[in-house]
Amino acid sequence: MSQRSIRFSVYPGEHMRTSTYDLVGGQPTLQAVHRRFYAKVFAHPWLSQYFRHVSRERLESQQTDFMAAALGGPDRYAGMMPKHAHRHMYITEELFRVRHELLRQAIVETRVHPQGAERWLRIDAAFGRSMIKRSRQDCTPRYSSEPILDFA
């Protein structure tokens, strides 16, 4: 498998008859959830600090493309994998839990099918393992001029 591949099964050994992407409602649902999710992120006093100089629309679009592929839909995502995209951010377990809860709220508010919501959140949690850092020293800038983002 290439480093860019993000497809995986949530349930090892189980072949899902319906992709999670289809179960949640496809692209329109992902877009709606990510609009709600990033509205919450940008309004959150802690999380918003990580995105001061980032376009909300760009984040929504990239996250939608990334999750479409991760949930078994079309693979149009051309960005970095989470581990590399977030390597300059000091993301603690607590910070990730706050973020994950905002995503859960956005999914519930969008009325995603419960089984699809469960799968989506399980996949999202799996990506957290590659973004959470034990200490600030685990962070590295993506570019030489880029600071480490640490608001913990």
Instruction: Please check whether residue 4 lies inside any domain of the structure.
Output: no
Instruction: Please check whether residue 13 lies inside any domain of the structure.
Output: no
Domains: count for the chain: 1
Instruction: Please check whether residue 7 lies inside any domain of the structure.
Output: no
Instruction: Please check whether residue 3 lies inside any domain of the structure.
Output: no
- Average pLDDT score over residue span 57-67: 96
Q: What integer pLDDT is reported at residue 17 of this predicted model?
A: 63
Domain that holds residue 27: 23-138
Q: pLDDT by residue (tens digit) across 15-24?
A: 446 899 999 9
Check which CATH number belongs to the domain holding 110 and give it: 1.10.490.10
Q: What integer pLDDT is reported at residue 133 of this predicted model?
A: 95
Look up tokens 């072949």; give the residue: 15
Instruction: Please check whether residue 105 lies inside any domain of the structure.
Output: yes
The structure tokens listed for 98 are: 């706050």
pLDDT value at 120 more than 80: yes
The stretches of 9-113 forming alpha helices (DSSP H) are 20-24, 26-43, 56-70, 82-85, 93-109
